[in-house]
Amino acid sequence: MIAAAALTREFGGRTAVDAVTFEVRAGEILALLGPNGAGKTTTMRMLAGLIAPTRGSVALAGVPLTRSTGAALRARIGFLTESPGLWDRLTVRENLRVYARIFGIADGESRIDRALRQFELADHASDRAAELSKGMRQKVAIARALLHDPTILLLDEPTSGLDPAIARSVRHLLEERRAAGCAVLVSTHNLDEAERLADRVAVLQQRLLAIDAPAALRRRLTTGRLLVRVLGDPSTYVAALGPERAHVDRGCLTIQLRHGEEETPGVIAALVAAGAQITEVRPEMPALEDVYLRLVKP
């Protein structure tokens, strides 16, 4: 649905995005991670057709994004920019009404009413945008981006400034859009949110450093250790495995393995034979944060 091929953008002598290639499939959420200045916003602006790449190309739903196709393709995109960009002198309803007219939405008022209810904005429909808090402005901007039922969503920090309840409702909304077949690209600094929400994660730092499912990225830094929880004192069972490969860490048996899956059954059998009552067995896996920091470290 979204395809970036060797996407590059230069500003003067500085390369903001360097030969980035990836796809976002229909019915998929891809989280774009990276430090400040990594090129995330620039990448999203190129995908939305707001700025042209210096080199490389963008295709949306199989159609190359060019000057001649840009207007038609942008009508299929819901784009949330880094700053809400509302018209401050207009009310919430008027902001949404202008956008509905731009996209030629026939049932604009009913969609606006639905959006106001969905984002708990009905009581603020007559408030001017300039009077809104940061979180309220963000909600209006998200409602505006979704108003025309786009099939492609490009969202730059969508839950920034939102309280936990509304942030959760936005995540549920994105999950619904994914289930409806939308292609969703979300730029975020919230690693926990990315791991829970995204099908895949892309780590960007001018160049694309990695792209994969969160669990697959975490497996790249697997320690080769097996964590086993038992009833009673775990140190009782260190001798059954040998102190050179097993020790107790934070109430858990930690066993070093060279070949995790192949050796695990034998380890469990040895513990059971020694009388251990096992309550949990799992490989030690790093957090997504650890993987991210390893990838972007200088």
30-85 tens-digit pLDDT: 999 999 899 999 999 999 999 999 999 999 999 999 999 998 998 899 999 888 78
Q: Tokens 């998200």 correspond to what residue?
A: 142
pLDDT at 192: 85
Among 147-161, 218-232, 266-280, the minimum mean pLDDT is found in 218-232
Does position 262 have pLDDT exceeding 90, yes or no? no
Q: Where in the chain is the domain with CATH 3.40.50.300?
A: 2-218
How far apart, in Å, are the Cα atoms of 219 and each of 201, 214, 255, 289, 297? 14, 9, 17, 13, 18
What's the CA gap between 270 and 243, in Å, rounded?
14
Residue 93's nearest CA partner among 118, 112, 119, 79 is 112
Does position 223 have pLDDT exceeding 70, yes or no? no
> In whole numbers, what is the pLDDT of the chain averaged over residues?
91
Residues 6+ apart with CB under 8 A from 287: 191, 218
pLDDT in tens, 16-31: 999 999 999 999 999 9
Q: Mean pLDDT: which of 5-9, 82-86, 98-102, 290-294 is highest? A: 5-9
Largest pairwise CA distance in the chain: 75
pLDDT at 162: 82
Q: State percent of the chain over pLDDT 90.
A: 66
Higher pLDDT, 80 or 222: 80
What's the CA gap between 283 and 281, in Å, rounded?
7
Pick the CATH number of 2-218 from 3.40.50.720, 2.40.110.10, 3.40.50.300, 2.60.40.10: 3.40.50.300
How far apart, in Å, are the Cα atoms of 273 and each of 240, 241, 266, 270, 283? 9, 11, 10, 5, 21
Distance of CA 145 to the CA centre of its chain: 17
Higher pLDDT, 298 or 224: 224
Pick the CATH number of 222-289 from 1.10.20, 3.40.50, 1.10.357, 3.30.70: 3.30.70
What's the CA gap between 122 and 116, in Å, rounded?
5
User: Using CB atoms within 10 A of its CB, is residue 278 exposed (0-12), middle (13-18) or buried (19+)?
Assistant: middle
What's the CA gap between 233 and 220, in Å, rounded?
32
Residue 9: how many other CB atoms lie within 10 Å: 22
Q: Where in the chain is the domain with CATH 3.30.70?
A: 222-289
> What φ, ψ does residue 265 adopt, rounded to 5°?
-60, -40
Q: Label each residue of 225-256 as H, E or C.
A: EEEEEECCCHHHHHHHHCCCCEEEECCEEEEE
Residue 164: how many other CB atoms lie within 10 Å: 8
Mean pLDDT of 176-201: 92
pLDDT in tens, 122-177: 999 999 999 998 888 988 999 999 999 999 999 999 888 788 888 888 888 899 99
Q: Does the model's pTM come out above 0.85?
A: no
Cβ contact 23:2 at 8 Å:
yes
